[in-house]
Chains A and B, each alone.
Chain A
Amino acid sequence: MGKIILKKVNKSFGATQVIPGIDLTIEDGEFVVFVGPSGCGKSTLLRLIAGLEDTTSGSIEIDGRDVTGEAPARRGLAMVFQSYALYPHMSVRNNIAFPLKMAKMDQAAIDKKVTDAARVLNLTNYLDRRPGQLSGGQRQRVAIGRAIVREPSAFLFDEPLSNLDAALRGTMRLEISELHHQLKTTMIYVTHDQVEAMTMADKIVVLNAGNIEQVGSPLDLYNKPDNLFVAGFIGSPRMNFVKGEAAKPWNAPTVGIRPEHLKLSKESGTWKGLVGVAEHLGSDTFLHVNAEGIGMMTVRAGGDFPVTHGDTVYLTPEEGRIHRFDDKGLAIR
């Protein structure tokens, strides 16, 4: 079990309020991702749940038990850190066994659990090495191993992949998702990478300046962003925002159109523009177009679209895919 409920959780460091009061429910077995720009309070929120920071006010409940004042070890959670935080003086075996040893489990049971975890994580051949002798991906697996042997009620991941290179990040992302399907344990995952959030989460919590901007499934956030912040943060490349005169036809101060929802033509369309940089990726072409009366817009053309710097193109937004926002930046539905 691992249902976590945050009630009006508030955190201040001295006079600085980092988290002004958050209410959030995380269901048992959910994969929840906290995403937001750096400094938005997502790591602090995770550390509050872990118990590594004291809550200034409000309460945290795990499976119906108020753990606000409890020590980290007594919350039944396991955490994987960005720096892996392995014990450098212990072998991989002892690193994984450490939480069990602290729980005073008997040696035979510890050995069995460590062997099982090592098999699941492909670490069997490395059990007697020190963390310093492992690659980044292997270290990350040891950190995960140390977390799973405890059978915690929830896993907390604090930007676990940001120290890995792009290729390894992709692989580890799949491994963690696969692990979640196997274990079916609640996972809370902090990242600033919206791709990780979109691909892994059951539920995404978008944070900005300590506030929750929106909570929802990846596609909810993509299709129905509540406000300009979420609209701009979720989706890659970023949503284009059209303001003022150009937004008039849709009867809103600001409208947003995603790069993939703009039709591209060399003959005619709603907006005329000059092609700036064109990024040809093979599967996609991203054009940065300077549209008349609007400014720079990003357009995605599927496959290959033969244009070069300085060509004239026409852009037409797909009706029904246009997001309207009011003066305060909130979505008009």
Chain B
Amino acid sequence: MARAVSTRRTVVFTIAAWIIALIIFFPILYTIITSFKSETEAIQGFNIVPSGTVESYQAVQAQSNYFKFFLNSVILSLGSTLLALLIAVPAAWSMAFSPTAKTKDILMWMLSTKMMPAVAVLVPIYLLFRDFGLLDSRIGLTVMLTMINLPIVIWMLYTYFREIPGEILEAARMDGASLWGEIVYVLTPMAVPGIASTMLLNIILAWNEAFWTIRLTTTNAAPLTAFIASFSSPQGLFWAKLSAASTLAIAPILIMGWFSQKQLVRGLTFGAVK
């Protein structure tokens, strides 16, 4: 909708948007600032100009191997995303293109599993992991992350696939495309943006998941979330080190998110406006 907006209004709104964005972003910004302070500076109260020391980063790396955690984060988030897509694509596909009377109920049921607090199933899951020898294993955690994000992945893909008009598939069928031809030439090219943004979102969700990754791992399979948590322990709180660890943990996903923001926004607002 084209509506004439005066320059003054534009300026006011732009400033307001920047202020709100800054407020939302401030905790992350302050974490980054704090990571460049010494421990003494960090506990001296509010100060947004750090001395610029990198001693916290050195200490963090000396204390525990960042790259091991980083690698685990990559393996867990990519692994669980691929596994989730492997299950969700056919599931969403069948629900979108040949729905039955129960499709809506199944979708709601899947979503309802996300309404339960995770802690409610902590004990049974923990015991199952213990009995199957999955504690602190990458495979166990990959499966766990897949399960918790699967409902969202299926829902997102379902809405995407629903947007592909059935008539286009019928047209392909009339045009002589085999099922394979239909998938390769028509369905996939049309679904790729949807699958891609679902994948990005799921990687972010898996990367940031902290409840299960911290509780089900100790050292071998521990990702960056556990790496951060490990700096808030026995000897007390070391704000600068904790901030340095947090910055290191969120940096990769922040960079990835920055580069893929166009895809992400499209993914998250898909179907909102027809």
Binding site for B on A (CB under 8 A): 50, 52, 71-73, 77-79, 81-83, 85-89, 98-99, 102-103, 146, 150
Contact of A79 with B181 at beta-carbon distance under 8 Å, contacts A85-B165, A89-B189 already known: no
Q: Is the CB of B173 within 8 A of A81?
A: no
Residues of B130-181 contacting chain A, CB below 8 A = 165, 167-168, 170-178, 181
Interface SS, A side? loop
Contact of A99 with B176 at beta-carbon distance under 8 Å, contacts A87-B186, A89-B189 already known: yes
Contact of A50 with B174 at beta-carbon distance under 8 Å, contacts A83-B165, A85-B165, A102-B181 already known: yes
Q: Is the CB of B190 within 8 A of A85?
A: no
In the assembled complex, B185 has its CB within 8 A of some CB on chain A: yes
Contact of A103 among B167, B176, B185, B189 (CB under 8 A): B176
CB closest residue in chain B, given A98: B175
Contact of A72 with B165 at beta-carbon distance under 8 Å, contacts A87-B186, A89-B189, A98-B185 already known: no
Cβ-closest 8 pairs across A and B: A85-B171, A99-B175, A102-B176, A73-B176, A85-B167, A89-B189, A79-B174, A81-B167
Q: Bound complex: CA of A39 vs CA of B32, how far in Å?
A: 64
Q: Is the CB of A83 within 8 A of B167?
A: yes
18 A-B interface contacts by CB (under 8 A): A71-B173, A72-B173, A73-B176, A81-B167, A81-B171, A83-B167, A87-B168, A87-B171, A87-B190, A88-B168, A89-B189, A98-B177, A99-B175, A99-B176, A102-B177, A102-B178, A103-B176, A146-B175
CB distance from A37 to the nearest CB of B (A): 22
Q: Is the CB of B167 within 8 A of A73?
A: no
Q: Bound complex: CA of A82 vs CA of B185, how far in Å?
A: 22
- In the complex, chain B residues whose CB is within 8 Å of the CB of A146: 171, 175
Residues of B31-72 contacting chain A, CB below 8 A = none
Interface centre among B185, B189, B190 (most CB of A within 10 A): B185
CB closest residue in chain A, given B181: A102
Q: Is the CB of A85 within 8 A of B181?
A: no
Q: Is the CB of A72 within 8 A of B174?
A: yes
CB distance from A289 to the nearest CB of B (A): 45
CB distance from A148 to the nearest CB of B (A): 12
Q: Bound complex: CA of A150 vs CA of B171, how far in Å?
A: 13
CB closest residue in chain B, given A83: B167
Contact of A73 with B170 at beta-carbon distance under 8 Å, contacts A85-B165, A87-B186, A89-B189 already known: no
Q: Is the CB of B177 within 8 A of A78?
A: no
Q: Bound complex: CA of A72 vs CA of B170, how far in Å?
A: 9
Binding site for A on B (CB under 8 A): 165, 167-168, 170-178, 181, 185-186, 189-190
Q: Bound complex: CA of A146 vs CA of B175, how far in Å?
A: 8
- In the complex, chain A residues whose CB is within 8 Å of the CB of B189: 89
CB distance from A139 to the nearest CB of B (A): 12
CB closest residue in chain A, given B175: A99
- In the complex, chain B residues whose CB is within 8 Å of the CB of A85: 165, 167-168, 170-171
CB distance from A5 to the nearest CB of B (A): 20
- In the complex, chain B residues whose CB is within 8 Å of the CB of A79: 170-171, 174
Q: Is the CB of A52 within 8 A of B174?
A: yes
Q: Is the CB of A73 within 8 A of B168?
A: no
CB distance from B162 to the nearest CB of A (A): 15
- In the complex, chain A residues whose CB is within 8 Å of the CB of B170: 52, 72, 79, 81, 85
Q: Is the CB of B190 within 8 A of A88?
A: yes
- In the complex, chain A residues whose CB is within 8 Å of the CB of B186: 87
CB distance from B188 to the nearest CB of A (A): 10
Q: Is the CB of A78 within 8 A of B190?
A: no
Q: Bound complex: CA of A67 vs CA of B185, how far in Å?
A: 26
Interface centre among B167, B170, B175, B190 (most CB of A within 10 A): B175
CB closest residue in chain A, given B177: A102
CB distance from A80 to the nearest CB of B (A): 9
Q: Bound complex: CA of A83 vs CA of B178, how far in Å?
A: 22
CB closest residue in chain B, given A101: B185
- In the complex, chain B residues whose CB is within 8 Å of the CB of A99: 175-176
- In the complex, chain A residues whose CB is within 8 Å of the CB of B171: 79, 81, 85-87, 146
CB distance from A113 to the nearest CB of B (A): 14
- In the complex, chain A residues whose CB is within 8 Å of the CB of B174: 50, 52, 72-73, 77-79
Q: Bound complex: CA of A102 vs CA of B185, how far in Å?
A: 10
- In the complex, chain B residues whose CB is within 8 Å of the CB of A52: 170, 173-174
- In the complex, chain B residues whose CB is within 8 Å of the CB of A89: 189-190
Q: Is the CB of A102 within 8 A of B175?
A: yes
Q: Bound complex: CA of A73 vs CA of B174, how far in Å?
A: 5
Q: Is the CB of A73 within 8 A of B165?
A: no
Contact of B175 among A73, A82, A88 (CB under 8 A): A73
CB distance from B196 to the nearest CB of A (A): 14
CB distance from B150 to the nearest CB of A (A): 28
- In the complex, chain B residues whose CB is within 8 Å of the CB of A82: 167
Contact of A73 with B190 at beta-carbon distance under 8 Å, contacts A79-B171, A85-B168, A85-B171 already known: no
Q: Bound complex: CA of A146 vs CA of B190, how far in Å?
A: 19
- In the complex, chain A residues whose CB is within 8 Å of the CB of B173: 52, 71-73
CB distance from B216 to the nearest CB of A (A): 42
CB distance from B73 to the nearest CB of A (A): 34
Q: Bound complex: CA of A99 vs CA of B165, how far in Å?
A: 19
Interface centre among B170, B177, B186, B190 (most CB of A within 10 A): B170
CB distance from A36 to the nearest CB of B (A): 21
- In the complex, chain B residues whose CB is within 8 Å of the CB of A150: 175-176
- In the complex, chain B residues whose CB is within 8 Å of the CB of A72: 170, 173-174
- In the complex, chain B residues whose CB is within 8 Å of the CB of A102: 175-178, 181
